């Protein structure tokens, strides 16, 4: 039988892993949403939406660069 501290530590680590996986799924959903908005904007009249498309592309690029720069938490999900 494990000591109570080890059991609590294992539970906390498991719960933290669940939260991190949930955050990752939310991040991925947000990127898909932004990608969909970008495609929708590009399908509209280009002169009317060029500023919005440029802003959306900048936001996507910033999010991707932030993801690349962030330390990876591999193997949790």
Across 1-77, where does the E strand assignment appear?
none
Q: Is the pTM of this model over 0.75?
A: no
Mean of all residue pLDDT scores within the chain:
77
Alpha carbon distance 2, 65 (integer Å): 43
What residues of the chain score a pLDDT lower than 50? Answer: 76
Q: From the CB of residue 7, how many other CB atoms can be counted at a distance below 10 Å?
A: 11
Per-residue burial over 26-48, b if 16 or more Cβ lie within 10 Å, else e, is eeeeeeeeeeeebeebeeeeeee
Query: What phi and psi, each to the nearest 5 degrees, are found at residue 19?
Result: -65, -45
């Amino acid at each position: 039988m494990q000591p109570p501290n080890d059991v609590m530590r294992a539970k906390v680590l498991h719960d933290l892993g669940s939260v991190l996986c949930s955050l990752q799924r939310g991040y991925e959903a947000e990127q898909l949403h932004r990608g969909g908005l970008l495609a929708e904007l590009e399908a509209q009249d280009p002169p009317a939406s060029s500023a919005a498309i440029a802003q959306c592309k900048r936001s996507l690029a910033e999010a991707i660069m932030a993801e690349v720069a962030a330390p990876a938490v591999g193997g949790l999900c």
